[in-house]
Structure 1
Amino acid sequence: MVTTTRTAPLPSLASVYRTRAVVELKEFSRQREAVVFTLLFPVLLLLVFGAILDYDIGGTVGVSIGFVQYFLAGVTAAGILGASLQNMAISIATERSDGTLKGLAGTPMPRHAYFVGKVAQVLAVTVAIIAVLLLVGVAFYDVEPPRGRDWLTFAWVAGLGAAACTLLGIAISSLAKNGRSASATVTPIALVLQFISGVFFQFSQVPEWLQTVAAIFPLKWMAQGLRAVFLPDQLAAVEPAGTWELGRVALVLAAWCVVGLVLCVLTFRWQDR
């Protein structure tokens, strides 16, 4: 009598994606330093800068706008950068260094499922950061939230910006020699971009040559697109081009998505050198 053994059916791709997303979110929530820096640091910046720099910035264009209303756009963009570029670069470099990536590459799991899990993590953390910053801004500083069609602009600027920065974070993860050096490699890059992209003060106050440098990278355009959401149209006059340039914002962020994807394909490694 011949007996046959039945092999268990492989899980569906949707099930694999869902599992990887849950794993990534659980791993992120268990890393206290990452949670504090990624989620709470932007909130801390908003509270500190809001308490210290409480002045009107709209006098030159005849409107009354507090600095916090302006700063909320910049710190939101910085929060998205932290949740995507910084978080991705550091976590992937660490997982590459401790052998996690090499182990995953040797399993039957489709390799792209790993990146789907990472994207799900970035999306969840980004939404959480935006929600907390809006809540703090409205509750403590009387910031006016977006209205009507501004929510649509908010969604595509944040979405494109997060996508571009996530892809760049995956690519930049290969710059770090190992997991221990990842934070020291990535954090200075993020801080420099924040200082020259109009996050901590008005972009018009940045020297012109630094404005040119900032315009190469996505953070400047993400912050500019979010200013169009939080600020009245009159303040577009103080932008370098005199308008919000939302069309160019979309074009530059989309271009960085393409550039980031190409860099990921060319540079990503599943194990250390």
Structure 2
Amino acid sequence: MSAIASPTTAPAEPSTVALGLSRAVFEIRGYFRRGDQMFFTFLFPIVMLAIFSTAFSGLDLGPDLTAASYYLPAMLAAGILTSGLQNLGIDIATERHDGTLKRLAGTPLSPASYFIGKIGQVLATGVTQAALLIAIGHVVFGVDLPDDAGRWLVFAWVLLLGLATSALIGIAIAQLPRSAKSAGAVITPVVLVLQFISGVYLQFSMLPEWLQNLASVFPLKWMAQGMRYVFLPDSLAAMEQGGNWNLTGVALSLAGWLVVGFVVARLTFRWIRKD
């Protein structure tokens, strides 16, 4: 009597999340292997913190407030934006130009898994960068850290929500450059302008009211404001637009841009440009 062959069961395909997490590990490894990207998106805020803390060490900012204490929140916010918007915007434009996205289109990787991989890379590198910034600010420049658990909780949600928002905006804005060579020229000026009008390099209260209102449309201003709440004394809240920290506005702005970034990224993302 001949044996009856049992039907072979095809292996289950990995889920969207599993593929995304696997892609995130690949993206993180690739990120730390690129020296230029490491400097301009990972180490750049740390370098700027060192420069501002040294250059303005004699600046009178009030009792118990040094230049390093004042600029640490700003550099944390700048790092969030560059980790997501600038990093992914240039990176994805380059991958489209060099054929990486075209090759990925022929794999089981879906756009959703690709997004998870990119966002995972931004979260991992952004959190690491923030930890280094805080450690250097505290150990090297003597910045006093908050002793209130509530402020650290605000720090956590501003950081994570800001990174996710910046990552999705970066995926969305990556559709603008026509080539890898033009990606830096298109995206970097946007990041620089936002940094100058959002209270990163210049004291926000010194800017004209119309420029403050313009900056309030974009998420970087709110990221910087949330970080200032965490690390600066409450007496400086009077220098903010509206005279208070307005954490509700921080949350609403970042959440709104998160939704906008996701919708635009999902509607416009293509493995291959139509043109």
What band does the TM-score fall into relative to the shorter chain?
over 0.9
Tell me if structure 2 keeps the 8 A contact 1:56–1:64. no
Query: Deviation of residue 15 (structure 1)?
Result: 3.9
Distance 1:7 1:175, change over 3 A: same
Distance 1:4 1:178, change over 3 A: farther
Q: Percent identity?
A: 49
- What TM-score comes out, normalization by structure 2 length? 0.92
Aligned to 1:174: 175
Aligned to 2:154: 153
1:108 and 2:108 correspond: yes
Number of equivalenced pairs: 269
- What TM-score comes out, normalization by structure 1 length? 0.93
Structure 1 distance, partners of 2:23, 2:221, is: 32
Q: Residue deviations 1:60-111, cap 9 Å, x none?
A: xxx4312221110011100111111101101111111111112112212333
Tell me if structure 1 keeps the 8 A contact 2:119–2:168. no
Match of 2:28 among 25, 28, 46: 25
Tell me if structure 2 keeps the 8 A contact 1:218–1:252. yes
Structure 1 distance, partners of 2:88, 2:7, is: 43
Query: Deviation of residue 4 (structure 1)?
Result: 7.7
Q: Secondary structure at the match of 2:199?
A: coil
Superposition pairs of residues 1-273 of structure 1, within 5 angstroms: 6=8, 9-13=11-15, 15-54=18-57, 55-58=59-62, 63-147=63-147, 148-272=149-273, 273=275
Q: Residue deviations 1:195-247, cap 9 Å, x none?
A: 00000121111122211111110000000000000011111011121100001
Q: CA RMSD in A?
A: 1.7
Structure 1 distance, partners of 2:266, 2:256, is: 16
Tell me if structure 2 keeps the 8 A contact 1:38–1:83. yes
Structure 1 distance, partners of 2:234, 2:87, is: 33
The gaps in structure 1 that reach 5 residues or longer are: none
Structure 1 distance, partners of 2:86, 2:146, is: 27
Query: Deviation of residue 8 (structure 1)?
Result: 5.4
Tell me if structure 2 keeps the 8 A contact 1:161–1:222. yes
